[in-house]
Chain A
């Protein structure tokens, strides 16, 4: 069977599975739609959170990103896992203890303010939309690469599928499809990684093979990481394992980006609402642990894949004549993800840091997508990787769509405008908002905004600078007032947004113009500090929260 035939089969089977789960888990109550009836076990919630969290970018692009940046790429690994420690310790158990449906609801009730609620609604919707557009695009890209259909067709297939299970099953349907999607994506990630690790280093565990020695061929017996550092020196790249070298990130910027990604993770509404779906605060702590474990499996494998792919890429291509390239090179050359331009006319590929002399261009996504072929694995593994990429994108998209739909139906319509709304009516509106959200997301997937990287930085920066401080203070400081958080959120958002937009609209500005040497990607950490300072200062000068609010806080802090 050909790769395409396998891909149709495996992708078709996984889609049938997701649809089957959606039909089995359809819901009729708002509690089922928003929080899966709060009956999800910590282990299941951990898997669902893992799939919810790991997006098309984590699955397809992250290993490649690290492969090209070496030590500097650690910011993603540290930032996107370290945030779960903050979630587990500072947020998840208290949000569950408080036990309502959404994040803006927590903000509005804890601070007793409709203004704070509405600001939180807009932050939640903005953050989720910026994110979901990328996921829909990811679905389209995977479809077009593996099934040779137009990106637009791929986006529309993805929209119909998400629509089906998110609208029918709400959070319950999303949760159990995410459990299935986690299983698909982690298998698809690990199988090629294990095979490549085994081949290259003789160890079947990528996390160990990564620090092992090269098995055979040139440089056999040498440590993999030493080899890659030597190759980098020879070709003029900064050393792979070296820190803060020219071409890499500075210490202060590493620090700022890591912190911004950590607190941004802990402030993302689609992750936070997952902790509402379990029974107790204790179950919320356990599911944060399971989630981090399941995420950690992929996140500790990614840097290993990055190293293997880098060594393989340089060793199999550099200095090789164009007629002797391996078959995967020719296959992927067609997609434009890898390219060779014979500048010096010697017929051999030359891969060096110097732009003027370099003849090889490589897209970072190829490091995961072409992995099974580089390792000469059977066709069904290639098909599984396609299904894994789709699972990662669809699961994240569904989680985000639920946030958008509940923000509109529950936080805006029910809490602010029509408090008398019946449950049946609210559920109907929630489903309709999900349909609208899918269509908007699909539109952005087909016509992506031209500045995707900045948009993601914006989503994290905004989550870090808006939600994180006010959620933390909401639990840990009784003295924090509604005036304080409104001022703090606005200050954090305006500063962070302004900084990102300023550098976006002034492309002539470079790293030497950055505030304290912090890049726009990392500026959310400063935005967060500003939010904390403004919130605490304004709170000192405004009246103490009323007794009923203090009672809410004491209730959240008291164990069950």
Chain B
């Protein structure tokens, strides 16, 4: 394809990697950090009837996981739309 541009593709890929690494950091923090590593101190904190660490392990982390996939779907659609707009703009100008 004539409209492939290595620079633009690299920028897209870097934006994707940055986004998914930060989302995975939250994934690990909830799934392994708050739910397992820090569960004992967190259980000292009560949220309503829930010990907080127990709540993260059986409820909270799952909610966070859903939100992470939602953020990724929305953000990637935006990144791809921007990428496409730039690609169309540059092919209109006739470069690359």
B49 engages A82 (CB within 8 Å): no
Q: Does A71 sit at the interface, judged by CB under 8 A? A: yes
Binding site for A on B (CB under 8 A): 4, 9, 12-13, 20, 23-24, 27, 31-32, 35-37, 39-40, 43, 47-51, 53-55, 57-59, 61-63, 65-66, 68-70, 72-73, 76-77, 79-80, 83-84
User: Could you tell me the distance in whole angstroms from the C-beta of B60 to the nearest C-beta in chain A?
Assistant: 10
Given A89-B24, A225-B54, A241-B51, CB of A289 within 8 Å of CB of B70? yes
- The minimal Cβ–Cβ distance linking B6 to chain A, given in whole angstroms, is 9
Query: Is A455 on the interface with B (CB-CB < 8 A)?
Result: no
Chain B, interface SS category: helix
Could you show 19 A-B contacts with beta carbons less than 8 Å apart?
A71-B57, A71-B58, A82-B31, A85-B24, A85-B69, A88-B69, A88-B72, A212-B49, A225-B49, A225-B51, A243-B36, A243-B53, A255-B32, A255-B36, A258-B36, A285-B72, A289-B70, A300-B62, A303-B58
Q: Is A262's CB under 8 angstroms from B31's CB?
A: yes
The interface residues of chain A lying within 8 Å CB-to-CB of B70 are: 289
Q: When the two chains form their complex, are residues B72 and A89 in contact, meaning their CB atoms are under 8 A apart? A: yes
Q: Are B49 and A226 interface neighbours, CB within 8 A?
A: yes
A262 to B24, CA, bound (A): 13
Which residue on chain B has the smallest CB distance to residue A289? B69
Q: How many residues of A contact B (CB 8 A)?
A: 49
Q: How far is the CA of A243 from the CA of B57 in the complex (A)?
A: 10
| Interface check A296, CB cutoff 8 A | yes
Could you tell me the distance in whole angstroms from the C-beta of A118 to the nearest C-beta in chain B? 31
Cα separation A241 to B56 with both chains bound (whole Å):
12
**A558 lies within 8 A of B9 (CB):** yes
Instruction: Indicate if the CB atoms of B31 and A78 lie closer than 8 Å.
Output: yes
The answer, yes or no, to whether A77 is at the interface (CB within 8 Å) is yes
- State which residues 137-184 of A face B: CB under 8 Å: none
Which A residues touch B24, using CB under 8 A?
A: 85, 89
Residues of A within 8 A of B84 (CB): 559
Q: Does A559 contact B83, Cβ atoms closer than 8 Å?
A: yes
Of chain B, the residue at the smallest CB distance from A74 is: B57
Q: How far is the CB of B94 from chain A (nearest CB, A)?
A: 21
Residues of A within 8 A of B43 (CB): 241-243
Output the least CB separation between B10 and chain A (Å). Answer: 10
Give Cα A557 to B32, complex, Å: 29
Find out whether the CB atom of A289 lies under 8 angstroms from the CB atom of B73.
yes
Interface bits A198-216 vs B (CB < 8 Å: 1, else 0): 0000000001001111000
- Cα of A288 to Cα of B59 in the assembled complex, Å: 19
Considering the chains assembled together, what is the distance between the CA atoms of A255 and B83 in angstroms?
39
Contact check: which of B66, B68, B80 meets A559 at CB < 8 Å?
Answer: B80
Chain A residues with CB below 8 A from B62, complex form: 77-78, 81, 296, 299-300
Q: Which residues of A contact B27 (CB under 8 A)?
A: 82, 85-86
Residue from A88, A210, A213, A241 within 8 A of B73 (CB atoms): A88
Per the bound structure, the CA–CA distance linking A259 and B33 in Å amounts to 12
Taking CB atoms, residues of chain B closer than 8 Å to A78 are 31, 35, 57, 61-62
Q: State how many angstroms separate the Cβ of B39 from the closest Cβ of chain A.
A: 4
Output the least CB separation between B79 and chain A (Å): 8
Q: Which residues of the other chain, B, contact A299 by a CB distance below 8 angstroms?
A: 62
Asked whether any CB of chain B lies closer than 8 Å to the CB of A292, the reply is yes
**C-alpha gap A184/B51 in the complex (Å):** 33
CB–CB B66/A289 < 8 A: yes
**A211-B48, A282-B77 are known contacts; what are 15 more A-B pairs with Cβ within 8 Å?**
A74-B54, A74-B58, A78-B31, A82-B31, A207-B59, A241-B54, A243-B54, A251-B37, A255-B37, A258-B32, A259-B32, A282-B73, A285-B73, A289-B70, A296-B66
How would residues 42 to 76 of chain A score, 1 for a CB under 8 Å from any chain B CB and 0 otherwise? Answer: 00000000000000000000000010000100100
Closest residue of chain B to A559 (Cβ to Cβ) is: B80
CA distance A255 to B20 in the complex (A): 22
Contact call A288/B69, Cβ cutoff below 8 A: yes
A223 with B65: in contact, given A282-B73, A289-B70 (CB under 8 Å)?
no
A101 within 8 A of B: no
Contact B65 A243 (CB under 8 A): no
Most B CB contacts (10 A, CB to CB) among A207, A241, A303 go to A241
